[in-house]
Amino acid sequence: MRVQLSSAEEAGAFSNKLLDVGNGILVGGQDGLVTLPFGNSIHEIQELMSRVFLDMGNKFKDHNWLRMRAILAPKNDAVDNRNLQLLKQLPGEKCSYKSIDTVLYPDEAVNYPVEFLNSLTPFGLPPHHLKLKIGAPVMHLRNVEPPKLCNGTHLIIKKMMPRVLEATILTGKTSGEDLFIPRIPLVPSDTTRHKDVVGLNLKEPV
């Protein structure tokens, strides 16, 4: 994570504390909260979401407004929950995309049921059940066409099709450019699972 602050001293203090949190040196008290050297404490996640994404349902079309906002969370479960809550604030129909999970070696398939593979979300992969709406901000997870489309590129969903997503680039030098993202086979480095994560098995809007 990159952080830009007004003074080098303040930035250094924040960076050191953030590293301590990540390394388990600095832990929260009974309430689980850790105080960082700037900003205000918020005790309810709903308050945080309302402050960062105030009036999301009306302002989501303003790409300049969207690119200046993000909520960081330490665990994927928290990220998925926040994403679903924010997605509900967007107008329009929600579409569900499901990945197709397989093992790399066919003789191992009997040891890894599909239901078990579907339940896993390794680092760097989206969830098995991906829910999207037009206008939803997303992040690309692979280097496909650097520097335009790479890991960390923020995009806005423009159109959803069964096997392809049309999106608008939100950040970088090519901001505002539209592109198409097909389904992409992904192989996590720490598992033997193969995952096609974009545009597979489109379900009816839910």
Dig out the tokens for 179 from the structure: 């592109």
Spans of all domains in the chain: 42-196
User: Which has the higher per-residue pLDDT, 49 or 15?
Assistant: 49
Query: Is the alpha carbon torsion for 73, 79, 81, 87 positive or negative?
Result: positive
Identify the burial level of 95 via C-beta atoms within 10 angstroms of its C-beta, where 0-12 means exposed, 13-18 middle and 19 or more buried.
buried
Classify strands 164-169 and 100-103 as parallel, antiparallel or unpaired: unpaired
Q: What percent of the chain has pLDDT over 90?
A: 20
For residues 71 and 48, is the Cβ–Cβ distance under 8 A?
Answer: yes
d(CA 93, CA 160): 11
The whole model's pTM is what? 0.71
Classify strands 129-132 and 137-139 as parallel, antiparallel or unpaired: unpaired
Is residue 200 pLDDT above 70, yes or no? no
For residues 152 and 170, is the Cβ–Cβ distance under 8 A?
Answer: no
d(CA 136, CA 59): 12
How does 124-136 read in b/e, with b if 16+ C-beta sit within 10 Å? Answer: ebbbbebbbbbbb
For tokens 């520097």, name the residue.
147
pLDDT tens-digit readout, 43-78: 788 888 888 899 988 899 999 998 888 887 777 788
Dig out the tokens for 19 from the structure: 């590293």
Supply the pLDDT for residue 199: 31
Q: Going by C-beta distance under 8 Å and a sequence separation of 6 or more, which residues neighbour residue 197? A: 99, 125, 126, 130, 183, 184, 186
Is residue 193 pLDDT above 50, yes or no? no
